[in-house]
Chain A
Amino acid sequence: MRRDIMNYFIPILIVLFIFATIGVYATGQQEKPAKAEKVTLQMWDDYSGKTRDPIVKAAIEQFKKIHPNVEIQRTVRPLKDLTSMIIPALSAKKGPDMMDVNAGEQLMGPLVRGGHLVNLDPYAEKYQWTKKLLNPSLWNRRRYSEDGTVFGTGHIYGVSFDGELVGVYYNRDMFKNNGLSIPGSIDEFNATCEKLKNAGIAPIALAGLKDYRFFHLYALVQASVLSHDMGINEAQNYLDDIVLRWRANRSFMQPGNIEAAKIIQDWVKKGYFVKGFLGLSGSDDLALFMAGKSAMFVQGSWYSTDVVESKINAGFFPFPPYKKGEPFSPQLGGATTPLGISKYSKYKDYDAEFMNILLTSDTTVKMQKENSVLPARIPVSLEGIDRNSLYHDILDDWNKSNLSGHMTYYLDWTTPTMWDTLAEGGRSLMGGKITPKEFVQKMEDDYLNWQKKKPGKK
């Protein structure tokens, strides 16, 4: 008998032990929320770094003063990692109260269609967010139709507390030493590059292995060329129709799109990028620029604090219009990754109240200006900001962009596969493996494919 016990029962006991452990944890977990009026709001965001983290923390402090019983627990991760947390979580109708919901089909679209996000219109109304912040065209990028089939219209599903702008960082000393000024047209931009190259300076640092480096640059050149071809208003319409509305009557096969691709390919042929740039990975291009190994670096305002901390004297200018004297062409940027509220949050009013503090409080704007962030409350007064600082340059462009009412898009928002198409196509284009036309054809194929299966299409 004893033998039998040893033979059977111990393994079975172990099995039981596992389930018991799970059970204990499970019950322990479920008791928690029922316990008291002490409330914990979970927030999953990518607002990290010196520029944004302190602002969020300050907002939490303010909120805690109003609601001492509410705790806000943040989980800060890069956007990519957040996505792989959010999808399983919402798929199981769990997860945080507030979270990053990257615009377009990157995340917001699928979440709205799945019915996981709260329509923020009532809160926007209550707190007057649309009046206080951003301009209407930027708000459109936070909207989806209620069934999630149309981007850029309908209800607001996410709100952003700061902005971002992609433009050209340049090394002021290098420009000055070579008698260069800020280019006012693409021709002048080319001439600038040529002059730098002849002076033995690599004009532009770009990491070919970092997918979006290319297609951020492409979007800027494209907007500039299209504005010249179609006129700035029609160019904006065209971009809205393609990126936001997925209109079937629009096509990527535009002479302007091809020309933009050709311009970049020509830059490669003429040697305007740092040597071997296609094999450069990570943020090594930023480091090259900051090390004074290139004169320019085309990227977003999110690098401004890094650049300021480097030893170079850097400035920032918007990508020029096609021809000299043409209006300020649409720049690339907008509001940063928006925050949304989960349908499964038990305390949606608290969420919104906290978001309001984060979005509109004076502390937020004050800290944003101290930390070289672009406030969502526009226009931003330039008073008290050093005229020669990098931040002044960027802020100035941010104001101009918002004032013009034009802004172009991160083209990867267009379709779920567009990121891949742009990254791969861009490398082939820059590597000289395909022609500008073939590159645009790749985008067109992707777009046509999306037309067949875009939401709402049966």
Chain B
Amino acid sequence: MSKGKAKIINTMLFIFLLILASVILMPFLIMLLGSVREHIDIIIRGPLALPKIWHFENYYIVLSRYRFGIYFRNTFYITAPTVIVSLVFALMAAYSFVFLDLPFRKPIVLISTILGVMIASEFIMIPLYRLMNVFGILDTYPAAILPQLAMSAAFSALILRSFFLGLPRDFIDAALVDGATNWRILWSILAPIARPAIITSAALTTVWTWNSYILPLVMLPDPMKVPLAVGLLLFRGTYTINIPLTMTGTVVTALPMLIFYLLFQQHIIKGLTRGAVD
């Protein structure tokens, strides 16, 4: 292939990517625009038109009048423990799945990971609520955290297990011969290697926990404990919905996750691919 030809092809590919990217980005743009426009304006001039009047005050309203500051804090209270503890559990479980002599390995792996990942909290709400009532922790953060933690642990265990499966067994055995404990092997040898997979799991479980809505809705009726995703409901009544404020609220909710992704994107991507040591 000549250099000139390659250049033309690359340019064409670039244009193709540009089109693809604009299609993917369009709804995001509509959301950003929608957050500073009036609903009527969207209906008259279409969702992509620039606003005639920029209603930046929507952000001020959302952040001040609607206690979104508190919702941020609450979301953090729910997300941080969920992600951190679930990762610890998942690392231990994945280590056991792959490197230890686990009895009934296959069924345990299948049940805990797949079932854990697939159970949508909507469908176990009633038994779950009763359980939390028995534990006496309704309307406290753990009631919203623990089931989310379980789901996140299952998902992360699935990712980490796949990562560990791609690792050579030799150096674990070598470490065992050296007399290292399992605990040390896991945290001093495996965890650093598994960093990309850990970050990936962390990133995805963070995004999901951040946006999860039905668990906190039901488990945390206390208005001062509500996270962002439930806070978005404040812009909706039974019949009415304030579209601009909903969009603003969604931007405010989504932005931290986007920044989070920008910071960690290299690692996030790495972790989802095979567990090669590199």
Do A and B form a real pair? yes
Interface presence of B259 (CB below 8 A): no
Contact with A along B235-263 (1 / 0, CB 8 A): 01111110100000000000000000000
Residue contact A85 to B236, C-beta cutoff 8 Å: no
* A270 to B179 Cα, complex, angstroms: 86
Among A46, A283, A291, the residue within 8 A (CB) of B44 is A291
A11, B126: Cβ atoms closer than 8 Å: no
Interface string of A314-336 (1 = CB under 8 A from B): 00000000000000000000000
Contact (Cβ within 8 A) B136 A77 = no
Find chain B residues with CB under 8 A from A76 CB: 223, 234
B39 is an interface residue with CB less than 8 A from chain A: yes
Number of interface residues of A (CB under 8 A): 52
> Are A29 and B140 in touch, CB under 8 angstroms?
yes
Distance to closest chain A CB from B133 (angstroms): 4
Contact A78 B221 (CB under 8 A): no
Q: Are A91 and B241 in contact (CB under 8 A)?
A: no
CA distance A44 to B221 in the complex (A): 8
Interfacial chain A residues near B104, Cβ < 8 Å: none
Q: How many residues of B contact A (CB 8 A)?
A: 43
Report the bound CA distance from A83 to B166 in whole Å.
47
Question: Which of B122, B182, B221 meets A6, CB within 8 Å?
Answer: B182
A48-81 Cβ-contact flags toward B at 8 Å (1 or 0):
1100000000000000000000000111111111
**By the criterion CB–CB under 8 Å, are B40 and A300 in contact?**
no
A94 and B239 form a contact (CB under 8 A): no
A3 located at the interface, meaning its Cβ lies under 8 Å from any Cβ of chain B in the complex:
yes
Smallest distance from the beta carbon of A343 to chain B beta carbons, Å? Answer: 16
**In the complex, which residues 57-101 of chain B have their Cβ closer than 8 Å to any Cβ of chain A?**
88-89, 92
Check if B237 sits within 8 Å of A48, measured CB to CB. yes
Residues of chain A within 8 A (CB-CB) of B89 are 14
How far is the CB of A198 from the nearest CB of chain B, in Å?
Answer: 23
Which label, helix, strand, loop or mixed, suits the secondary structure of the A interface? helix
A122 interfacial contact with B, CB 8 Å: no
- Contact (Cβ within 8 A) A85 B183: no
Q: Would you give the shortest CB distance from B138 to chain A, in whole angstroms? A: 6
Knowing A49-B240, A73-B223, A81-B217, say if A29 contacts B136 (CB, 8 Å).
yes
Asked whether B138 lies within 8 Å of A22 as measured between CB atoms, the reply is no
Contact of A29 among B43, B88, B137, B239 (CB under 8 A): B137
B274 at the interface (CB under 8 A from A): no
Contacts of B138 in A (CB 8 A): 29, 94
Known: A30-B136, A78-B236, A287-B40. Contact between A88 and B129, CB under 8 A?
yes
Contacts of B222 in A (CB 8 A): 73, 75
B17 within 8 A of A: no
- A381 at the B interface (CB under 8 A): no
A87 on the interface (CB 8 Å rule)? yes
**B130 CB–A CB distance under 8 Å:** yes
Digit string of B122-134 for contact with A (CB within 8 Å is 1, else 0)? 1001101110010
Does A22 lie within 8 Å of B142, measured CB to CB?
Answer: yes
Kindly list chain B residues whose C-beta atoms are within 8 Å of the C-beta of A74: 223
Using A7-B181, A84-B218, A291-B43 as known contacts, say yes or no to A283 and B241 having CB atoms under 8 A apart.
yes
| Docked pose: A26 CA to B138 CA in angstroms | 9
Our pick among A6, A77, A92 for the contact of B130 (Cβ within 8 Å) is: A92
B-binding segment of A112-120, A167-175, A302-310, A441-449: A302-310
Residues of B within 8 A of A91 (CB): 126, 129-130
Q: Assess A77 versus B125: contact at CB under 8 Å? Given A46-B238, A310-B40.
A: no
**Which residues of chain A in 189-231 are interfacial with respect to chain B, using CB atoms and an 8 Å cutoff?**
none
Cα A287 to Cα B46 in complex, Å, equals 12
Q: Tell me if A42 is interfacial: C-beta within 8 Å of chain B.
A: yes
Q: List 16 A-B contacts (CB under 8 A).
A: A2-B181, A6-B181, A6-B182, A6-B183, A26-B136, A49-B237, A75-B223, A77-B217, A80-B238, A88-B125, A88-B126, A88-B130, A91-B126, A287-B39, A291-B40, A293-B44
Closest 4 CB pairs of A and B: A26-B136, A88-B129, A6-B181, A79-B238
B contact residues vs A (CB 8 Å cutoff): 39-40, 42-44, 88-89, 92, 122, 125-126, 128-130, 133, 135-140, 142, 146, 179, 181-184, 214, 217-218, 221-223, 233-234, 236-241, 243
